[in-house]
Amino acid sequence: MASLNTRDTPFRRNMRCMLICTMMSLANAQYGYDTATIAAFQAMVGFLEVFGYRDATLKAGWGIDPTAQQLITSFLNIGAMIGVLFTTHFSKWKYGGRREGIWVGTVIAFVGVAVQLGTDKIAAVVVGRALVGIANAFYITFANAYISEVAPRHLRGVFGGVFGIMPAIGSTIGTVTVYFSKSVEGRLCYQIPLACLFFFPAVLAVAVFFIPESPRWLLVKGRPQEAEIALRTLRGGSLSEELLQEEFVEMVNGIELEKATAVGATWREVFEGPNLRRTIITVGVYCSRVASGLWVFIAYGTYFFQQAGVADPFAMSMYNFAAGVAGTVFAIWCSYQYLGRRPMVLFGTVGAIISMFAAALGGTIAPGSPGAAKNFMAWNVIYSVVYGGFAATIAWPITAEIPSSRLRVLTLSIATGIDYVLAWLTSFCSPYFINPKALNWGMKYCWLWAGSNVVALVFFYYWLPEVKGRSLEEIDELFIKKVSVRDFAKYECECTKQAHEIVTQKKSEAVVMQTEVGNEKD
């Protein structure tokens, strides 16, 4: 049994796979950069001069109509909702692999950014936002699936955490870019950071030509020889030949077992048998990000700081995102060394409840006061470190590792679609709560998110299993056997032992054959 653990090789021996997954994770950095810059545009005079209106009563001297605010922000989510329909059908094609999905998203992203860059009409901006949303659907679905499928089992949380940290990194880069361009006069103040959005798609467009395809996807499509070559490339000598074959045999057996129990990846199958439980967990974890209130601060962060009376909202957004990056790095280290999925999610969600409650309480007791603004800033930073670092980061690998290999993209597409419907509702309704021309709730808006985080916490406690250190095939077995949440971490799976026995037997047979050949020569 000791040899079963030797596939968990040291981190330094898996640097090739880490580099490949990091390159693929840039798809999520594009999402973070885009949302952060668009949020900042709504507080930039140069942007408001084109798409807003003059209002001397407002602190910046300019405002933006709630309807325009809704359209600009929410159509990113509408585009994503449309995009998931394409990702589902695209993944069923013979050449609809993870790499090709990223490349298609890149082409759409180029077009979406170019449309926004060259227009001064809200309608054209909305079209551009929708196209970027479609690109995001391809990026998030295929990149998240890829990283989960290629990462070594003991490092899947770390590699998935890198994917999870990328929105914060992208947001930080976006806020820094906006901070240094906000003083530029005229349209260039927002066109400069918007043009920088070409960077991530350009890097991805080149990188996907040098990245091996997912071995598990190749096996699902009946291409075992290519799958073995891809696995060798990904592992890069980190495993001995015997252990590499052991991992490959486990993949083959797991996918063959899946194929034997179903005729194809259909919408109906995602909601049947053991897959129903997996779908509920995946959708729940995806939607918990909206329930946390995270999307409100991403989409309206700079504007929210401005309305809260923060002296320099652009700088505050930059510091806030930087704090989130620091918290995420620490959380990834904790996930590698000490913490499982459940403790990270539960800890982060409790932090979100406390942060939202405290920010709302300050805004209720002393609305519009400098003290309330400082209280809001402090708890927003804590929220970014605790929730953004722990729960939000580890949610990405969880959503990709819970579905089966054969239904992964389909399940992720459904979860992404539902997530973006809720995100759209949030972005569409938020202006009514925070805009001075509407309800003007300000920081009291956080009461809603304190409550929704409580609901998320209850869901995680009763539904989320611990899968740290498990191979994807072991996770399949656990769900097929209907193991309870309480027993997930300690259950002994058969699939890894079977793969080890098969490889050992083949090795013994090869030794016997070599011995017989040697005897014949003698």
Mean pLDDT of the 246-254 span: 87
Whether the CB-CB separation of 78 and 134 falls below 8 Å is answered with: no
pLDDT at 60: 62
Predicted confidence (pLDDT) per residue in 94-113, tens digit = 777 888 999 999 999 999 99
pLDDT at 230: 93
Mean pLDDT of the 175-199 span: 85
* Mean pLDDT estimate for the chain: 83
Q: Band of the pLDDT at 366, cuts 50, 70, 90?
A: confident
Q: For residue 304, is pLDDT > 70?
A: no
Q: For residue 475, is pLDDT > 50?
A: yes
pLDDT at 1: 34
Q: For residue 351, is pLDDT > 90?
A: yes
pLDDT at 345: 94
Mean pLDDT of the 298-318 span: 67
Domains assigned to the chain: 16-214+240-491 (1.20.1250.20)
Q: For residue 412, is pLDDT > 80?
A: yes
Whether the CB-CB separation of 300 and 39 falls below 8 Å is answered with: yes
Mean pLDDT of the 356-371 span: 84
pLDDT at 2: 36
Dist CA 203 CA 27 (whole Å): 10
Q: Which secondary structure element, helix H or strand E, spans residue 505, and what is its range?
A: helix 495-521
pLDDT at 326: 85
Q: For residue 330, is pLDDT > 80?
A: yes
Q: Which secondary structure element, helix H or strand E, spans residue 81, and what is its range?
A: helix 66-90
pLDDT at 515: 63
Predicted confidence (pLDDT) per residue in 204-233, tens digit = 999 988 899 999 999 988 899 999 999 999
Instruction: Compute how many other C-beta atoms are within 10 angstroms of the C-beta atom of residue 199.
Output: 14
Q: For residue 57, is pLDDT > 70?
A: no
SS3 assignment, position 374: helix
pLDDT at 514: 64
Whether the CB-CB separation of 64 and 42 falls below 8 Å is answered with: yes
Report the share of the chain in percent with pLDDT over 90.
Answer: 23
Predicted confidence (pLDDT) per residue in 372-411, tens digit = 777 888 888 899 899 988 998 888 889 889 998 788 888 8
Q: Band of the pLDDT at 265, cuts 50, 70, 90?
A: low
SS3 assignment, position 240: coil
